[in-house]
Amino acid sequence: MKQIKRFKATVMLSIPLMLAQGCMTTQQDTSHSSHLTMLHDYTLYDANNEQPITTKKLTEKLKNADVIFVGEYHSHSASHLLQANLLPLIFQQNPKLKLSFEQFTRDKQHILNQYLNNEIGEQTLIKQADAWDNYQSDYRPLVEFARENKLDAIAANTPLSVVRCIARKGPEYIKEFTASQKKWVAEDITTSSSAYQEKFMAAMSHHGSKTTKSSPVKLSNSFYAQLARDNTMAESIFNALKQSENSQVIHFNGAFHSNYHLGTVDALKRLDPDLKITVISPQFINDQIDWSVGDFVYTIKPLPERYINKENLNLAVKAMMEKRKLTQCKL
């Protein structure tokens, strides 16, 4: 039950972004939907020429990338199937491949290492590393590939407890961390592009609560909490690249963290502007494709509507926000 609660807490903190991804649609574009039959189907496109591309051809184009971001819609079977299909092909091109996960946090790196070294079993990994509720269905194939091929896997993210405390108390609260706790989060979490901030604020306000005098401060703290994730993941990837020459990192994260080369991608570019970074982003087939969202795009079928009645949606968001108020800042 502990890992399920952790997963739900993570979802609660990011629910406005997840809902925005599912609700913000544009003009319908049926030309990209006719050949997607099952929910796990996807079609890959090269955003440069807006033409379909095979998985093999995409893999070849990824050969010279230092870092590959594969954006996902969490729990969408098509996103996770693409990741599983790409991983062995990329590994064949570069055996020095490293995997990086949003799901796992820095404070659990030693546990992930123990599993990769066959020192603990899967249930111990799931429980002690606070794996997400969908680990076994969606991420197990990736971790197992790393374990079987003796690849490094990076627990890239900052702990949920840190995110929660920053969201409640602001980035200044990090100064109160112990020396060991400060290692759980990036040294700089305050820098971001204005474009990313605008997209984040738009997503938050799309499903936000009523405006009050304190709302701007709370919204700002929520943005810093988001930046804590982005900058920590970027710093983790940067550190991993420094550890071994000619290595390549494939990072798996929610699409919002890497869309438009913003978020984690932007943070990584600030750490090393010379890195060659490639972004792969999902697009729902009912949306007109935004070719600027990534270097490569994969179209997927939408998930079933979580809510059809807007009143039910608002009630669900309100209930989650009220529950979130009851959570405490505790490291």
* Residue range 313-325: mean pLDDT, rounded: 85
Kindly state the DSSP code that residue 139 receives in the 8-state scheme: I
pLDDT of res. 9: 47
In whole angstroms, what is the distance from residue 281 CA to residue 260 CA?
9
Q: How confident is the model at residue 155 (pLDDT cuts 50, 70, 90)?
A: very high
pLDDT of res. 191: 83
Q: Are strands 296-300 and 42-46 parallel, antiparallel or unpaired?
A: antiparallel
Q: Which of 76-80, 215-219, 320-324 is predicted with the least confidence, judged by mean pLDDT? A: 215-219
Average model confidence (pLDDT) across the chain: 89
In whole angstroms, what is the distance from residue 40 CA to residue 23 CA?
20
The residue among 207 and 133 whose pLDDT is bigger is 133
| Residue 134 backbone dihedrals phi, psi, to 5 degrees | -95, 20
Q: Look up residue 87 and give its two tokens.
A: 């991983």
Query: First vs last Cα of the chain: how many Å apart?
Result: 19
Looking at 87-207, which runs of residues are DSSP E strands? 97-105, 153-157
- Region of residue 118 (left: phi > 0; alpha: psi -120 to 50; beta: else): left
125: helix, coil or strand?
helix
CA distances from 136 to 89, 143, 198, 251 (A): 22, 10, 35, 18
In whole angstroms, what is the distance from residue 59 CA to residue 38 CA?
23
Q: Which of 50-59, 72-81, 189-198, 297-306 is predicted with the least confidence, judged by mean pLDDT? A: 189-198
Residue with tokens 């978020």: 263
What is the amino acid identity at position 184? W
pLDDT of res. 30: 39
pLDDT of res. 34: 52
Half-sphere exposure of 232 (CA within 13 A, CB side): 28
Percent of the chain's residues with pLDDT above 90: 76
Q: Look up residue 290 and give its two tokens.
A: 């935004």
CB of 41 closer than 8 Å to CB of 228? no
pLDDT of res. 283: 97
Q: Look up residue 40 and give its two tokens.
A: 């796990």
CATH pick for 2-326 out of 3.40.50.11550, 3.90.1300.10, 3.20.20.150, 3.90.1150.10: 3.40.50.11550
Residue with tokens 């939408």: 302
Sheet containing 296-300: order of strands = 51-52, 42-46, 296-300, 277-284, 67-72, 248-254, 97-105, 153-157
Q: Look up residue 185 and give its two tokens.
A: 């989060």
